[in-house]
Homo-oligomer: A and B are copies of this chain.
Amino acid sequence: MSAAAPDAFTVSVDIVLLTLREERLQVLLIRRGIPPFEGWWALPGGRVRMDEDLDAAARRELQEETGVERFEGHLEQLATYGTPERDPRGRVVTVGYLALMPDLPVPVAGTDAADARWWPADELPSLAFDHDRIVADGIERAKAKLEYTTLATAFVEAPFTLRQLRQVYEAIWGVPLQPANFRRKVLTADPRFVVEAGETPPRSPREDRGRPAARFRPGPATLLHPPILRPEPGRR
């Protein structure tokens, strides 16, 4: 990244990539190898090219900086941040993106990043630029969308158990949910939230003890009806 020419804007994208690792919500951060904020942790991202769509730029940066080949997860625009002083190099307006994926590969450091790693969402360091705020907005968006969309399935791989799906909610909301009630809500959603996935790996390495659970796949629904609301959303 070079300095922006006077009287012109630089437009960048910054991605809040979330996943579930070890039953915790984690955020991918990159350690900056160059000034400003050299040595600080920051969101993966970078300049948008002159002939490039914003979404395409987000996908490209996601791949370049994290070593993810062909990002398959969910990607959506979050908000745009453009206070004049947010980047000491000049006027940089950045479009924040929210990306979600299951816990698959380990990210690799990319071009101008000295290091890259997952950080638990509740143990984040102080970030470069205004990235703290972007991360906060991204996590809040994820929490909210779990309520009325089927986005939770973006965090787990193809055949999954309802326990896994419930753990997505529990990790992101930070509260325990009652398995029986969660099950009822997921299975009674009208356009189907999940559909049964044959008996894919029914008898396998046995990760846990107890009765084996049925496997499901994402159903046709995108919006959840009725919604699955988080307990104590502030009132009630």
Q: Count residues of chain A with CB under 8 A from any CB of chain B.
A: 31
Q: Does A126 contact B (CB under 8 A)?
A: no
Q: Mark A51-92, 1 if CB is under 8 A from B, else 0.
A: 111100000000000000000000001011011100000010
By beta carbon, the residue of chain B nearest A94 is: B80
Asked if A82 and B50 sit within 8 Å, CB to CB, the answer is: no
Contacting A9 at CB < 8 Å: which of B8, B77, B80? B8
Q: Mark A103-141, 1 if CB is under 8 A from B, else 0.
A: 000000000000000000000000000000000000000
By beta carbon, the residue of chain B nearest A189 is: B235
Q: Does A22 contact B (CB under 8 A)?
A: no
Residues in B with CB closer than 8 Å to A236 are 190, 225
Q: Mark A1-44, 1 if CB is under 8 A from B, else 0.
A: 00011111111000000000000000000000000000000000
Residues in B with CB closer than 8 Å to A80 are 54, 77, 80, 95
Q: How many copies does the complex hold?
A: 2
Q: Does A176 contact B (CB under 8 A)?
A: no
14 A-B pairs within 8 Å (CB atoms) are namely: A5-B5, A9-B10, A11-B93, A50-B91, A52-B84, A53-B84, A54-B82, A54-B83, A82-B95, A93-B93, A93-B95, A190-B236, A225-B233, A225-B235
By beta carbon, the residue of chain B nearest A225 is: B235
Asked if B225 and A50 sit within 8 Å, CB to CB, the answer is: no
